[in-house]
Every structure is written in structure tokens, then in C-alpha cells.
Amino acid sequence: MSVWRRKGEWLEWTAEQDVHSIEDIRHALAVTVGDRFLQKLFRSSNIQWKGRRVMLRLFPEETLQYVPEWTEVEVLYEDDFSLVANKPAGMKVHPTRDGETGTLLHALGSYLESTGQRCRPRHIHRLDEDTTGPVLLAKNEWAQSRLDEAMRDKRVERIYVALVQGHPPESRGRIDAPIGRDRHHATRRRVSRTGDPAVTHYEVLERLDSASLVRLRLETGRTHQIRVHMSHLGHPLLGDSLYGGRTAGMGMARQALHGEQLVFSEPFTGERMEVRATWPDDFAVLYEQLKK
């Protein structure tokens, strides 16, 4: 049985029998590591082998892309390859203009630096600035390539909860409506025949007095997808003024949307990971308020 272990910048693999060439390594590791990445490691002299032992340099020291800034961010899951952070409201995942600070990547840079990790966080997906919940990040180039591929193949599952206006007539459904830019507004999106394909699945968990608690699962990941689709359905998110949601008396200065669960396969072992983020205080308070 093959054995793996990390040694500093290197991942050591003990094969079942002696390795004699890069072709032996490609044959054994093409599925686990990926043939293209193995070739890249070989060209840059980042593969070494002797006898049954093979060393892959998957963890080179890296400089941070952004100046680290200390902001307390909850890390929900972490291993040598990936990290899941619980993004708070009012924080962007990454800068969108030169010189912008205060993003999740700035905060995680500080976290990694404080824990002695010389690696660069790479976000695999995003959340809107005022949406809370788990964000998946890779900790090295190889993990990024594997997790990006998983996102493209729809093998990363993102599950949200929202408080929406009114009561959807169906207890569950599938919204298949393309999303494009709204030419009348700089940041707003809209359902458009010429837009990008977008599919959202929803389930009504609880019907409250004037609102509903809804669980949503993304099949695609368009900008503002849940917000656009629920507004298109006639049930915009509470607090979401951009898409027609009620804001008066909400006591919540943002859209009532929270990423509740993230499901993905650990990039190296393939183990299925399910990461949950508890409701933030403002979401929980609004829910209790609506139940009265």
C-alpha cells in the first residue's frame, strides 16, 4: 500500500515497488496528482525519486499577494491543501480595485502568517460582500487546479438559507433562468434570454407570518444569482433593496442570505468534506422576530 506524508515543502510518496523513471511516476500518479501538473513539476525539477521514495514539491514558500491585515475571521476547516473561512457581512472576498483593503484575502494573509504558514490563499468561489458563510480557498497552486476543476464540474455543493418576502406557492422548485447585466444599472443583474445559464434549486423550510425561510442550492454560480432568481420568482430577499426586497423594520442592514453549508472533496485524498456555518446573529434575530 502506498504511503504519503508531508515533509516541509515536499510531499513524500512511498511506492509499492521501485520507481525507475518519470513514466513510472506518471503511470502511478496521473489520476491523483494530474498528468499536466506532474509534467510541470518535472520540467521545473520539482520531482525527485530514489528507490521506492518519490518527492513532489507541492508546498513551495510563497509571498502573500496582499499586505496582511489582522481581522478576526473564523476558520471552519483547514488541512495542508485547503481552507474554509466563515466570511462575515460587509467584507469582500478579494479586492475589486487597486489599493482596496479589508478583504477576506487580507485577513487570511494575516492568519496564515501568524500560524507560520508561508503560502498564499486562493479563493475558489466568491460570496457577495453582504452575504455571510463559508468560502473555500486553496493553499497552493496544485490544490487550486484541483478545486477549480471540481467547481467547473459542479462537484462543489453550496447550500444557502434565506428569508424571503411572502410565501412561494410551491414548497420546492427549480429556477432555470439565464442571468445577464442590467444595462440600466451598474451593479444590478437581471433575468435575460441572452444571459448566462443559471439554475437555482429551492425548498421552503418554514412559512412565517409575512415571509418564508428558504433553503437554496446553486447549480451554477452567477453574480447575485439567488437574489436575482428569488426576485424573478416574486419573492425577493428581505433587506435586499437592489432587487426589491423590503427593508423597513428589518433591523438588518443587508440581504437576509447566509451560506449554511459547503460540500467538496478534499483535493488530495478525495474524502468528502461537509462544512457548516452557523447563522450569524443578525439573521437569527430577524428569523425570531418574524416568528412572533
Q: Is residue 111 part of a domain?
A: no
pTM: 0.92
Domain CATH for 253: 3.30.2350.10
Domain that holds residue 255: 158-259+285-291
Catalytic site includes residue 176: no
Does 96 reside within a domain? Answer: no
Three-state secondary structure string covering the chain: CCEEEEECCEEEEECCCCCCCHHHHHHHHCCCCCHHHHHHHHHCCCEEEECCEEEECCCCCCCCCCCCCCCCCEEEEECCCEEEEEECCCCCCCCCCCCCCCCHHHHHHHHHHHCCCCCCCEECCCCCCCCEEEEEEECCHHHHHHHHHHHHCCCCEEEEEEEEECCCCCCEEEEECCEEECCCCCCCEEECCCCECCEEEEEEEEECCCEEEEEEEECCCCCCHHHHHHHHCCCCECCCHHHCCCCCCCCCCCCCEEEEEEEEECCCCCCEEEEECCCCHHHHHHHHHHHC
Would residue 235 count as lying in a domain? Answer: yes
State how many domains the chain has. Answer: 2
Q: What is the pLDDT along the chain (292 residues), one digit of tens a residue?
A: 457 899 999 999 888 889 888 888 888 887 778 888 888 999 999 999 999 999 999 999 999 999 999 999 999 999 999 999 999 999 999 999 999 999 999 999 999 999 999 999 999 999 999 999 999 999 999 999 999 999 999 999 999 999 999 999 999 999 999 999 999 999 999 999 999 999 999 999 999 989 999 999 999 999 999 999 999 999 999 999 999 998 877 788 899 999 999 999 998 888 999 999 999 999 999 999 998 8
Active-site position among 128, 130, 240, 282: 128
